Amino acid sequence: MTMPVKNPCPELKSTFVSIREPPGPRLIPFVGNRYELYPDVLGNYDRLFSLYGPMIKTVNMGTTIYHTNDPAIARHVLREDQLFTKATSSPSHPLHYMADQDCLFTCDSASPAFAPSHKFVPPTMSPRGIAHFMPLIQDAAQSIFPAFDHLADANLAINVYQYMFKLASQIVWRVMLNQDLKQFESPQTPPSFPVRLFGQYLSLMKKSSMRPQWFKYLPFNETTKLKTVRQQVLDTTEEAMKKSIRKDGPPLPLSEPNAIQSAACVADFLYRARDKQGKGMPYELVLGNVVVSCGAGFTTSSSLLSWALYSLVRYPGNQQRLFEEITRHRSSNDGRWTYDEIHGMKFLDCFVKEVLRLHSPSFQTARNAKQDAVLPGGYLIPKGSIVIACFPSLHKNPAHWENPQRFDPDRWAQEGLAAQMARQGSYTPFAAGGRGCVGFNLALTQVKMVLVELAYRYEFDDSSPEAVMYDPEFLVVRPLNFYAGITRRMH
């Protein structure tokens, strides 16, 4: 009888993983994975991540995209380095049909416009810059009062996104061009002509990005109409910009931190700013950056404001806590808020952070692979591929968040949590790296100002007749059918 020989060497378990292409669902001829994704693209991303792991591959009507909900992978993808970059000129990029190479947000990192735009635009969006524009932001936020007062007195509910789109555009247009769009003279006042153009432009851009690439060769399609509307947007914005800039004003040196305080608006600063060599921003770059800053600001801020109001009424207790905090802080001023006061309210800050975590408007921040790359986990990404860090899924990844589906502003009360989660790549509502959102200060200040003004003056309730749904075919995540009732508070 032979005895089994015990292996004298202990078993070594390898930590290495094989290099392989990210998995994904089975393809259907012609449409690929379209019906695996739509109509609930966010829910289906979560489902596919749970089935296939933290990196997946999808093909939609011939366009291949790689997605991740893993912060370690997202950190690598969002870096601007030798492996990944932002190149909207690629036909597969979600922003390809908005790929204006004359502005910071939409140009390729390799574009000649990137360096000067990256030099001149950030000072306008810095804390110092936004602090200077606080009166414009507050006045624009308060412009909605007459319409909301009338609606409250008539006991009428509103489609929140429709009003927040007008309010966000009112604020952004005021900061960018110092002009009042007068969109709230009555509850029925329609969006102004520039805002309607921007809305049409953004809608066409998203629809075009979802079509197969051969679709643009058809004689009648969204791509053809998109070019016409884009030119109308440029012409309309340029006309407004010419009225807002001080052509005879003195130069504003970038080396002077307080130079922004002499500008009437963002467009005025960009037009008059000068670097150390005395050079200014080319006119076409000034116009391009103003146009895209308006469009991006309208879109993301209107959705964020809508989800913030949704969170006030959907999650009990938060509206009252916010009102009490605003009341305490408002007693020390005359109702005119400074930048430091707005950002010094702790519960407001925690509340907005949680809205951005659980209801992030941005969901398709994409980067391009400059060469073949192997990402953590052994995932091989071919050169030229598009990789999307899926923020809604990343912000709810149960491996990195405790009770991720629970709306809990108090999770942010822990000192340093936001910075820690940002470093890990687990919390990136404004992206990260060299192409992170330059307008995040304006976006945060805008939503906080609106919440302060509205929550102090009104109480809101959920009047939605059915479950709230989002639009899967828009550039950002926006609620389609969220209705709210308005009651004026008695102070």
Say how many C-beta atoms besides its own lie within 10 A of residue 13's C-beta: 5
Quick check: is 2 in a domain? no
- Say what the pTM is: 0.92
Residue given tokens 């808020």 in the structure block: 337
The radius of gyration of the chain from alpha carbons, rounded to an integer in Å, stands at 24
Gap between the Cα atoms of 265 and 7, Å rounded: 77
Residues near 126 by beta carbon (within 8 Å), at least 6 away in sequence: 260, 441
Which residue in 98, 103, 450, 102 sits closest to 301, CA to CA? 450
Number of domains in the chain: 1
Which residue in 121, 86, 77 sits closest to 107, CA to CA? 86
- Looking at residue 193, which CATH number applies to its domain? 1.10.630.10
Quick check: is 392 in a domain? yes
265 is in an annotated binding site: no
What pLDDT shows up at residue 99?
65
Say how many C-beta atoms besides its own lie within 10 A of residue 403's C-beta: 9
Quick check: is 170 in a domain? yes
Helix, strand, coil % in the chain, rounded to nearest 5: 50, 10, 40
Please state whether the peptide bond connecting residue 472 to the residue before it is cis, i.e. omega within 30 degrees of 0.
no
Domain membership of residue 210 as a residue range: 33-488
- Residue 44 CA, distance from chain mean position: 21
Query: Could you tell me the mean pLDDT of each successive run of 10 residues in the chain, 491 residues long?
Result: 43 62 96 95 97 97 95 94 91 74 87 94 96 98 98 98 97 98 95 94 76 67 80 96 95 96 98 97 96 92 98 97 95 85 97 97 91 96 96 95 97 91 93 92 98 98 96 90 96 72
Quick check: is 27 in a domain? no
Gap between the Cα atoms of 195 and 295, Å rounded: 9
What pLDDT shows up at residue 5?
42
Q: 195 near 174, Cβ under 8 Å?
A: no
* Exposure b/e, 35-50, CB count within 10 A at least 16 = b: ebbeeebbebbbebbe
Quick check: is 21 in a domain? no
Quick check: is 11 in a domain? no
Gap between the Cα atoms of 368 and 434, Å rounded: 14
- Residue 120 CA, distance from chain mean position: 21
Q: Is the dihedral of CA 97, 209, 355, 425 positive or negative?
A: negative
Q: 170 near 137, Cβ under 8 Å?
A: no
Quick check: is 42 in a domain? yes
Quick check: is 247 in a domain? yes
